[in-house]
Homo-oligomer: A and B are copies of this chain.
Amino acid sequence: MTNTQLTHIQIDNYGPWTVTPEPRREMDLQTLQSRLFADLAQFVGGRGGYVFFTRFDNMVAVTNGLDRRDHELLQESVGNRYPVTLSLGVGVHETPVEALETATAYVQAAGSAQDSTRREVLAGDFHADGAADDLHVAHFDVDDATGKYTDRLNEFDTFIRIEQGYAALMRYMREEHGALSFFVGGDNIIAVCPELSAQQYAAAIDAVEESVGVELKVGVGTAATPHEAGFAAKHALEDCRHRGTAVEFAGAADHPLPDTD
């Protein structure tokens, strides 16, 4: 069955730290945040998971395949190398937003995000080891974004279009399906979803086009880990390109991962 494990990653007491003893150089904060995210992407990604930058001081990871010990190692390694520490809450549920609700609640129960004494919380429910569960990843992009926007408008006006498409999709998928959609750069949005039909994906795309005029297409993959599901979704999105379709599903059977044994 579908069961998504979500980890809420929160930098401890970050806001106050950024202005103590006085405001820190913004470009140093940007560097710190983006490198921390990059390290998380390598750590989580190397274990089959996905992490999204979200607000940078609070990030969301899909961590099917990572156990408590992996989370402890992540906390320890970041604590050894950064001037800030991380708290982690973990939840598992068929519906992604419910899993995140649990994950965040574990962090909140231990104290405020701006509590100077709360550090390195690690609490949560972990996916049962060996359970034969799967999860669903949908990879959206904007149809011909380069031709319609990037090569024609100034970069900010292009960005406004992409951003509007993302804002519309993230709300629709959250409200209708409890799915979590993340902008990942360019014209790409990756959503972790409950099990949804092709009609439901098509309806999401229609809703975005109607509300903000941005045309999306989507590839959907299903697998035991975010990387495998996302990799299948990327291949399915390539199928959309070649076939001129708006929604494609990919099974692991159609687009097998390279054999690595």
Point out residues on A near B: beta carbons under 8 Å: 8, 10, 14-15, 18-19, 22-35, 37-39, 41-46, 49-51, 53-58, 60, 68-69, 72-73, 76-77, 80-83, 97, 100-101, 103-105, 108, 112-114, 146, 150-160, 162-164, 167, 170-171, 174, 180, 184-187, 190, 227, 230-231, 234-235, 238, 260-261
Contact A170 B174 (CB under 8 A): no
Q: What's the dominant secondary structure at chain A's contact region?
A: helix
A167 and chain B: residue at smallest CB distance: B167
A58 contact set on B, CB distance < 8 A: 150, 155, 158-159, 186
List of B residues within 8 angstroms of A238 by Cβ: 19, 23
Of B23, B82, B186, the residue contacting A57 (CB under 8 A) is B186
Query: Which of A150, A151, A156, A235 counts the most chain B CB atoms within 10 A?
Result: A156
Q: Is the CB of B180 within 8 A of A170?
A: no
